[in-house]
Amino acid sequence: MRLTAPGPLPPDRRSLRWELSRKGGSSVKRTKTKEEALGGVAGSAQILHRAPRNRRHGFSKTPARLLLASGDYRQFNLRMKRDTDIFSPDLIIEVSGAEEPGDTSHIYSGEIFGEKGTLAHGSVVDGRFEGFIKTHQGTYYVEPSERYLEQKSVPFHSVIYHEDDIDYPHKYGSEGGCADISTFERMKKYQASAVEEPVKGQKVHKAQEEENSDVPVILRSKRAAGKEKNTCQLFIQTDHFFFKYYGSRETVIAQISSHVKAIDSIYQATDFMGIRNIGFMVKRIKINTTEDEKDKTNPFRFANIGVEKFLELNSEQDHNDYCLAYVFTDRDFDDGVLGLAWVGAPSGSSGGICERSKVYSDGKRKSLNTGIITVQNYASHVPPKVSHITFAHEVGHNFGSPHDSGIECTPGESKLQDKKAQGNYIMYARATSGDKFNNNKFSICSIRNISAVLKSKRDCFVESGQPICGNGLVEIGEECDCGYSDQCKDSCCYSANEEEGKKCRLKPDKVCSPSQGPCCTADCTFVAQNEKCRKESECANQGVCNGATALCPASQPKENFTSCNAATQVCLNGVCSGSICEKYGLVVCTCASQDGKDEAAELCHMCCMDKNDPATCSSTSSDRWSKHFNRTVITLQPGSPCNDFKGYCDVFMRCRLVDADGPLARLKKAIFNPILYENIADWIVKNWWAVLLMGIALIMLMAGFIKICSVHTPSNNPKLPPPKKLTDTLRRRRPQQASAPPQARGNRSREYQMAQLRP
């Protein structure tokens, strides 16, 4: 890998150019120039306005200022806080077999201070920042200098470079990081061998594009405003080679967070034909350290494992608790393979997101919601940019996308220079450099396939718990939320389609937005004071605006024990929650029939009793409670329990008993009902002659049946002729002339045929 210069620097500044060559091993050449590819970061990353520490996690979620300075690059004044979005609240980290609660206090996310729409993510370990910074001019990467430089005496500990500075010497294998065709065929055949259910042609990596790839994009349907399950939970494992390369537990976790954050930003920004805000969350991390290299329980302990076998070892584990399960490694697989994963499908196939374990033709139970990636390629470290896109590519396979094909979805192969300059999309068959416009986007072909899978196999997704711009709800971190551009009718708020820093924000000089509440007008000003904003309810007065906020203030509750819900309940603190009995110091109860009849009308009456005295349970229409209710009949609501919870009240206010046997009881009553048999007996007595005729007809029918079938019945009597075959009886006989011998009949037949041919 050769890192080239981003451009000329001021002539009064001296810089160094570091070139990394792989010929004959890694060597570093130092040359004086006015260009640089790697900017040295000297000193420690400075954290300004440090947030208060807590005992367990180091820094709190309060934003901190981090000043990152590079020798010949710009200064990055980062405003960051601890990143908890990509880790599950119950994250478990397993290190060499020992589980422990997840500590991610060294992981940070934020933005460049004063620059909206930027993103910074990384870790601070031993005073050094490592991560990426997305600016409006591209993405910068910060890594430890020892990953690129052998010399230890350099005056800086880290290097920083722009994504455009990476020069790629090869295309990462014949298939751009994926296995060859024979591997695809073997995996496809194996996926079709599930024992538990029929499988139809599941495809891995070499899957063909759907035939309807040229169908126009379907317009997005309107989303519900509530919470939705849009987060895929991940289980990430790292083998001992990965740990050996990065050197520490904290650095390994930082690499995992960096990869997940990178793909999360890509998928969150993609509209999968109406399904938006798809994100990722790490639920479990398993780190195999160098101590696990000889552990016999470690399936990844052997050094020489091919990419297929490596994926198989991951798939042999039970991953039913996760959306996807990946293994990160630092192995140099054959043919430059960077990753491998099973391709998902909407139905009828095994593999992909949310796939549960099954038994396959080899008798093994496997989970095919898996994938693997490596950070080594041809004995060299893969830049984070390439590794991040590789991860997004393999996850795209899990989500149901095969490789891009066709003119529409492979613009990098176009003969038109303007299209070719934009580059190929994420799911292109070969690895991309990541510096082209399309390199971190999904093609329309991929979007069609992924959206089909998401609509049918998203059952294992969970709610993210994070605010979602575009759902119509103003959440933490949002000033307003009017939805997406096709929904937003609000002139006060930026829609969710706007760029970062604008979306879900008030437009300049706008005081409020109707999405904030009913007390904001369409002109983006507060509604006048005492204007009605909420209707009066049974237990609360109408709400009125106060002229100072868009929210409708809480309504004043009506007096306690005000009757509500058809006079069966009373209001308590503005909520219809108490029983009408409580108004008079009584306790609600259910009236039970004394004689066991479930049709008593009183069973569906409101009944009250004295406290701790069930014997006083009576209807509101009874004499007992006439002084309170004046013998007024108050009925329960349809569906309410009655008869001491043995039945329910129907719409006619009759108590219907609940039969535990259900339909079986009704069938039993219909067949064994005594009344039915009594009616049958009465009919027989009254119509005896009809019964006699039916008996005679039955006897005649049976006699005729025996007579007809007797010729086909075998007998032990030797004097009787043998039984005839049923086929002989049913065969149609042709009339024949008995006087004519066979030969004569044959001659006449020939004469007839000759007569027909005579001219």
Whether the CB-CB separation of 3 and 383 falls below 8 Å is answered with no
Report the pLDDT value the prediction gives residue 222, as an integer from 0 to 100.
Answer: 37
Q: What is the mean pLDDT of residues 154-173?
A: 71
Other CB atoms within 10 Å distance of the CB of residue 46 = 13
β-partners of residue 81 are 109
**Between residues 348 and 307, the one the model is more confident about:** 307
pLDDT value, residue 180: 62
Are 243 and 154 members of one domain? Answer: no
- Mind listing the pLDDT tens digit for each residue in 41-65? 544 444 433 333 343 333 344 455 5
What was the pLDDT predicted at 473?
Answer: 83
CA–CA gap between residue 335 and residue 86 (Å, rounded): 33
Render the burial of 421-432: b for 16+ CB within 10 Å, e for the rest.
Answer: ebbbbbbbbbbb
User: What pLDDT does residue 678 have?
Assistant: 85
Residue ending a domain, among 463, 485, 507, is: 463
| Dist CA 99 CA 80 (whole Å) | 29
pLDDT of residue 414: 85
Q: Answer yes or no: is pLDDT of 195 > 50.
A: yes
Residue 505 reports pLDDT greater than 50: yes
Same domain for 289 and 436, yes or no, is: yes
Question: What pLDDT, on the 0 to 100 scale, is given for residue 287?
Answer: 94
Q: Same domain, yes or no, for 65 and 194?
A: no
Radius of gyration of the chain (CA): 40
Residue 648 has pLDDT above 90, yes or no: no
Last residue of a domain, one of 423, 445, 463: 463
Active site residue 185: no
Q: How far is CA 427 from CA 216, 217, 231, 327, 405, in A?
A: 20, 18, 21, 20, 9
Task: Pick the closest to residue 500 from 475, 472, 476, 469 (CA basis).
Answer: 469
Asked if residue 663 is part of any domain, the answer here is no
**How does DSSP assign 299-314, residue by residue?**
TT--S---HHHHHHHH
- On whether both 132 and 195 belong to a single domain, the answer is no
pLDDT in tens, 313-366: 999 999 999 999 999 999 999 888 899 999 888 877 788 899 988 888 788 899
Q: What stretches of 399-529 show up as alpha helix (H) in DSSP?
A: 417-422, 444-456
Indicate if the pLDDT at residue 93 is higher than 50.
yes
Distance separating alpha carbons of residues 443 and 449, to the nearest angstrom: 10
Query: Domain ends where: 631, 658, 685?
Result: 658
pLDDT of residue 461: 92
Report residue 708's pLDDT band, with 50, 70 and 90 as the boundaries: confident
DSSP string, 639-662: T-EETTTTEEE-TTS-EEEPPTTT
Residues 717 and 568 in one domain: no
Q: Which residues contact 560 (CB under 8 A, 6 or more apart)?
A: 570, 571, 572, 573
- Are 73 and 218 in contact by the 8 Å Cβ rule? The answer is no
Highest mean pLDDT among 54-63, 189-198, 331-340, 538-547: 538-547
Q: Are residues 157 and 243 in the same domain?
A: no
Within 10 Å of residue 458's Cβ, how many Cβ atoms?
A: 18
pLDDT exceeds 50 at position 689: yes
Which residue type is seen at 335? D
* Residue 628 annotated as binding site: no
In a domain? residue 191: yes
Domain of 419, in residue numbers = 181-201+226-463
354 and 447 both lie in a single domain: yes
User: What confidence score (pLDDT) does residue 345 get?
Assistant: 84
pLDDT for residue 729 is more than 70? no
For residues 465 and 359, give the distance between their C-alpha atoms in angstroms, rounded to a whole number.
Answer: 35
pLDDT at 742 over 90: no
Terminal Cα distance for the chain, rounded? 96
What distance lies between CA 169 and its chain's CA centroid?
Answer: 38
Query: 460 phi and psi, to 5 degrees?
Result: -95, 0
Q: How high is the mean pLDDT of the chain?
A: 78
215 pLDDT more than 50: no
More confident residue, 414 or 21: 414
**Does residue 7 have a pLDDT over 50?**
no
CATH code at position 430:
3.40.390.10
Residue 148 has pLDDT above 70, yes or no: yes
Q: Lowest mean pLDDT: which of 1-15, 168-182, 556-570, 613-627?
A: 1-15
Q: With contact defined as beta carbons under 8 Å apart, do 188 and 326 qualify?
A: no
- Residue 120, pLDDT > 70, answer yes
State yes or no: 49 annotated in a binding site: no
Is residue 513, in this structure, part of any structural domain at all?
no
- pLDDT at position 16 is 27
Q: Is residue 443 predicted with pLDDT exceeding 90? A: yes
CA distances from residue 643 to 262, 595, 648 in whole angstroms, order as listed? 62, 11, 8
Q: Is 397 annotated as a binding residue?
A: yes
Evaluate whether residue 521 is within a structural domain: no
* Least-confidence region, from 19-23, 198-202, 233-237: 19-23
The answer, yes or no, to whether residue 542 has pLDDT greater than 90, is yes
Question: Residue 384's closest CA among 104, 83, 28, 131?
Answer: 131
Give me the pLDDT at residue 294, please.
Answer: 86
Cα 291 to its chain centre, rounded Å, is 36
Structure tokens at 521: 């007008």
Angle at 107 between CA 104 and CA 109, to 5 degrees: 135
Q: Is residue 529 assigned to a domain?
A: no
SS (H, E, C) 63-104: CEEEEEECCCCCEEEEEEEECCCCEEEEEEEEECCEEEECCC
Task: Please tell me whether residues 653 and 701 are part of one structural domain.
Answer: no
Strands 324-329 and 370-374: parallel
Residue type, 92: I
Q: Which two tokens stand for residue 360?
A: 């396959």
Q: Would you state the pLDDT for residue 283?
A: 92
Whether 583 maps to a domain, the answer reads: yes
274: in domain: yes
Do 652 and 706 sit in the same domain of this protein?
Answer: no
Which pLDDT does position 21 carry in this prediction?
A: 27
pLDDT tens digits, one per residue of 175-187 = 446 666 666 667 7
**Tell me, what amino acid is at 549?**
T
Beta strand pairing status for 53-54 and 46-48? unpaired
Q: Which amino acid is at 501?
A: G
Over residues 133-158, mean pLDDT: 84
Amino acid at 338: L
Whether the per-residue pLDDT at 302 is higher than 60: the answer is yes
Verify that 592 and 687 share a domain, yes or no.
no
Burial of 73 (0-12, 13-18, 19+ CB in 10 A): buried
Catalytic residue among 36, 394, 478, 602: 394
Ramachandran bin of 548, using left for φ above 0, alpha for ψ from -120 to 50, beta for the remaining angles: alpha
pTM: 0.61
245 and 294 belong to one structural domain? yes
Segment among 24-38, 266-280, 654-668 with least mean pLDDT: 24-38
CB-CB contact of 26 with 150 (8 Å): yes
Query: Quick check: is 669 in a domain?
Result: no
For residues 160 and 185, membership in a common domain is answered with no
What are the tens digits of pLDDT across the range 217-229?
333 333 433 457 8
pLDDT score recorded for residue 75 = 79
Counted domains in the chain: 4
DSSP 756: H
- pLDDT of amino acid 168: 63
